[in-house]
Amino acid sequence: MCEKSVEAHGLVSDPRSLAQALESLRGAEAVALDTEFIRTDTYYPCLALIQISDGQTTWLIDPLAFDRDELEPLISLLKDRQVVKVLHSCSEDLEVLRHALGVLPEPFFDTQVAAAFVGLGFSLSYQALVREVEGVQLDKHETRSDWLQRPLSPEQLRYAAEDVEHLLAIHQTLRDKLISLERFSWFEQDMDIMLKAAGEEARPEDYYQRVKGAWKLNRQSLAVLRRLCNWREQEARTRDRPRNRIVADKDTLQLAMGQPRSWQQLSALGASSGRDKAGLHPRVLRVYGDQLLALIEQARADAPESYPQVLPKPVPREQGGLMKQCKRLVQQKADSLDMAVEILVRKADLSFLLQSAVEGRANLSERIETTWRKGLVGDQLLALVGEGLAANSNAVQAEEGAK
C-alpha cells in the first residue's frame, strides 16, 4: 500500500532519482514548491519533506535520505533566477530552507500575498484559495502529523502532493490579475521585502525589544532585559531548544523589573508563581538560577551611557480618535482598490506613525516610506496626523486659556 502511494507521488530518496526529477524540470519557467517540517521541541525547524511540481508531475523529495552535498543540484534549481518558485504563505518555508540548505528560493511568488493584492482576502489558506480559484475542495487532515516519521503514510504523501499540485495554475491566474490591475510591480516590491527579511538572522541582542510590556521599563531595567534576552537567545540556538523552554518572556520581564541580587530574592520571585499569580517557573530557578543572578549583576555594572533607549509607548488614549481617522482613511483606500486592508497598511504602521508624531515628528514606517504605499496613502496619512495633532493642541490651549 505504502509503496504504491510513494511511486504514484514520485518520492525521491536517492541521488539518481533526484537527478531524474531535476532533469524533468529543465527549461521550466516556474515550479511549485512547498515544505513540510516539524518545530515543536527545537529552536530551528526540522526539514522533513520538499515538494516540487511542474503542474503535471509532483516529486516529493526526502531530505532525510540525503547528505547535504547530495542536494546541491536541488539548491542550484532554487537559486536559478530564470525559474520562478511558487509558494503559498512562504515565510516559514523560507526560514526552513535557509537553515537546512543555506539557500533562499529566488525569485519567488507567494500566492497568499498575491491573493490579498487582488481582493480575494487577507491570509487566505491554501485550501480556501484552491476552492476560490480552482473550485476544488481539499482535505486538511494531515496538517499536524509527524512528518519526520518513516515511512510516511499514504495519507501524508497524498496531502503533501496536493499542497503543490494546484499552485502553478493559481499562480498564472493571480499573475494575470496583478498585471491587469497594474499591481505587479507593487507585488514584486513586497516579495523583495520578504526575501530580505528571510535572509537576515535576528540579532540576539535585539530580542528584548519584542518582549511584551518592555516599554514600561526604564533604561537601566532595559539593560538587564537586553542582557537576559541576549543570553537566552544564544542558549536556545546553541541547544536548539525553543526560547521559552529556556526562560519565558514573562520571566525575563519579571527579572528585569525585580532585579534580584541573591538566591533569597530570586526565590521570593519564584515563590509567587502559580496558576493565579505571575512568578518564575521552578524549573527556571533550578536550572538557571546562578546564571540569571550573574547576568543581572553584569547588566547592573554596565555604564549608564550604554543602556538602551526607552522603547516607544503605546499610542496615548487621547489619540484614539486620530487613530480611528487613520484607520478609516486606510479602509476607504483599500475598499476603493478592492484590496485587503492589511496589505495596504497594518495597525503596526499606524502605531509607528502616531508614536513618532506624539514624540515630536511624524514618520512613516519603512514598509510605507520605501514602497508603493507612500504615494498611494502614506502622504495622506502624514497630512491627516499633522492636522489632527495641531487641532488637538489648539483645543488643549483653548481649554487652558478658558480656566
Query: What is the chain's mean pLDDT, rounded?
Result: 91
Spatial separation of the C-alpha atoms in residues 136 and 117, rounded to whole Å: 22
Q: Please name which of 177, 194, 55, 186 lies closest in space to residue 120, comparing C-alpha atoms.
A: 177
Mean pLDDT of 19-35: 95
Write down the pLDDT at residue 275.
42
CB–CB of 59/34 below 8 Å? no
Determine the pLDDT at residue 283.
86
Quickly tell me which residue has 537576559 as its cell.
228
Cell of 43: 529552536
Whether domain 317-401 has CATH 2.40.50.100: the reply is no
Catalytic hit among 43, 126, 159, 288? 159
| Residue 217, phi then psi, degrees to nearest 5 | -85, 150
Task: Give the integer Cα–Cα distance in Å for 178 and 185.
Answer: 9
The answer, yes or no, to whether residue 396 has pLDDT greater than 70, is no
Residue 34 has pLDDT above 70, yes or no: yes
Is residue 36 part of the annotated active site? The answer reads: yes
Q: What span, in angstroms and rounded, lies between the C-alpha atoms of 77 and 84?
A: 10
Stretch 245-252: mean pLDDT? 94
Q: Please tell me which residue in 34, 106, 110, 251 is annotated as part of the active site.
A: 34
Cβ–Cβ < 8 Å for 364, 381: yes
pLDDT (tens digit per residue) in 190-247: 999 999 999 998 899 999 999 999 999 999 999 999 999 999 999 999 999 999 999 9
CA-to-CA dists, residue 38 to 44, 139, 143, 357, angstroms: 9, 20, 11, 43
Is 206 an active-site residue? Answer: no
The amino acid sitting at 119 is G
> Yes or no: is domain 2-198 CATH 3.40.50.2300?
no
pLDDT score at 315: 86
Can you give the pLDDT at residue 6? 33
Q: Which three cell numbers stand for residue 375?
A: 504615494
Query: What CA–CA distance (Å, rounded) separates 68 from 183?
Result: 39
Q: What percent of the chain has a predicted confidence (pLDDT) above 70?
A: 91
Q: How many residues does the chain have?
A: 403
For the chain, percent helix, then strand, then coil, each to nearest 5?
60, 5, 30
- pLDDT of 126 strictly over 90: yes
Please name the residue ranges forming H helices in 199-246: 219-239, 243-246
* 324-383 pLDDT, tens digit each: 999 999 999 999 999 999 999 999 999 999 999 888 888 999 999 999 999 999 999 999
pLDDT bracket for residue 2 (50, 70, 90):
very low
Residue 108: alpha-carbon gap to chain centroid = 16
Please report the beta strands in 95-155, taking only residues with DSSP state E, as ranges in sequence order. Answer: 108-110
Which residues are CB-contacts of 144 (< 8 A; sequence separation ≥ 6)?
none
pLDDT at 75: 98
Burial code (b: 16+ CB inside 10 Å, e: under 16) for 189-217 equals ebbeebbeebeeeeebeebbeebeebeeb
Q: Which three cell numbers stand for residue 374?
A: 507612500
Record: fold of 204-306: DNA polymerase; domain 1 (1.10.150)
Which of the residues 36, 142, 190, 349 is marked catalytic? Answer: 36
Q: How far apart are the first and last CA of the chain?
A: 86
Closest CA to 201 of 70, 97, 323, 98: 98
Q: Is the pLDDT of residue 160 over 80?
A: yes
Residue 159 falls in the annotated catalytic set? yes
What distance in Å separates the CA atoms of residue 251 and residue 262, rounded to the nearest whole number? 16
Cell of 211: 518582549
Instruction: Please tell me which residue in 142, 163, 165, 349 is annotated as part of the active site.
Output: 163
Higher model confidence: residue 388 or residue 161? Answer: 161
Q: Is the pLDDT of residue 403 over 80?
A: no
Residue 96 clears pLDDT 50, i.e. is over it: yes
Kindly write down the DSSP assignment for every residue of 2-21, as one continuous string. HHHHHHHTTEE-SHHHHHHH
239: cell is 541547544
Residue 34 one-letter amino acid: D
Catalytic residue among 43, 54, 62, 93: 93
Measured from the Cβ of residue 26, the count of other Cβ atoms closer than 10 Å reads 8
Domain with CATH 1.10.150.80 in the chain: 204-306, 317-401
Average pLDDT over residues 153-173: 95
Element (DSSP H or E) covering residue 198: helix 184-198
CA distance 313 to 149: 46
User: Is there a catalytic annotation at residue 349?
Assistant: no
| Residue 55 φ then ψ, to 5° | 95, -20
DSSP state of 47: E
Over the stretch 259-276, which tens digit does the pLDDT of each residue have?
999 999 998 887 654 444
163 is catalytic: yes
